[in-house]
Amino acid sequence: MKIAVYPGTFDPITNGHLDIIKRGLTIFDKIIVTIALNSSKKPLFSAEERMDMIRCSTVGMDNIEVASFRGLIAPWVKTQNAHTIIRGLRAISDFEYEFQMALMNRKINESIDTIFLMPNARYTFLNSTIIREMGRLQGDVAQFVPSCVVERLKEKFPD
Ligand code: ADP
């Protein structure tokens, strides 16, 4: 069974993340979407809320598991019997950081490879930061995030 891990902050999950997950499922038998609990970022949504949003966004998709991890991703990947990390690449600007992380993860665990998937071009401008900002300013995010995320944003930022 080919298992891949897709780590991130997912604050919140967007259609860009989902595009990467769907592409990943054509390559892997199972994808574990996992939230970094002690990243240096200060998330808007709690870990539980973010995991719930991943779950509701992937209803009907088989072979998706939602998890969270503390500390470094490389040792955690090993505990899941996986050898592959999936990351999304939107633009050249993502590349330097991702390249550095991939090589550091390999240093920590020689058996891990990171694969990069490119989303559909219509999602390349999308990130969670801009979605949170749109939500805060009462913008319409329906075309950028799954419907259950639209609802969660409305609850976070009531009129
Ligand atoms: P992180 O804090 O680790 O960057 P994110 O949740 O922002 O976590 O992103 C997780 C992964 O998904 C990263 O590899 C990021 O490049 C990728 N990603 C984020 N948004 C998109 C998008 N719109 N299209 C494709 N990949 C994306």
User: Which atom from ligand 1 is nearest to the alpha carbon of 15?
Assistant: 23
Looking at residue 39, its pLDDT comes to: 81
User: What is the secondary structure of 82-128 as a DSSP string?
Assistant: --EEEEE--SHHHHHHHHHHHHHHHHH-TT-EEEEEPPPGGGTT--H
Query: pLDDT digit string (tens) for 26-47?
Result: 999 999 999 999 888 899 999 9
User: Which atom from ligand 1 is nearest to the alpha carbon of 10?
Assistant: 6
Q: Is the pLDDT of residue 93 over 90?
A: no
Looking at residue 96, its pLDDT comes to: 94
Name the band, by pLDDT with cuts 50, 70 and 90, for residue 58. Answer: very high
Spell out the domain ranges in the chain: 3-125
Looking at residue 35, its pLDDT comes to: 98
Q: 3-125: which CATH number, 3.30.200.20, 3.30.465.10, 3.40.50.10470, 3.40.50.620?
A: 3.40.50.620
Name the band, by pLDDT with cuts 50, 70 and 90, for residue 11. Answer: very high
Query: How far is it, in rounded angstroms, from Cα 5 to Cα 68?
Result: 11
For 18, 43, 44, the CA distances from 50, given in Å and listed in that order, are: 14, 9, 9
33 CA to centre of ligand 1 in angstroms: 12
Q: Is the pLDDT of residue 155 over 90?
A: yes
**Active site (catalytic) residues:** 17, 41, 90, 128
For 5, 89, 107, the CA distances from 84, given in Å and listed in that order, are: 6, 16, 14
Looking at residue 158, its pLDDT comes to: 93
Query: pLDDT digit string (tens) for 115-151?
Result: 999 999 999 999 999 999 999 999 999 999 999 999 9
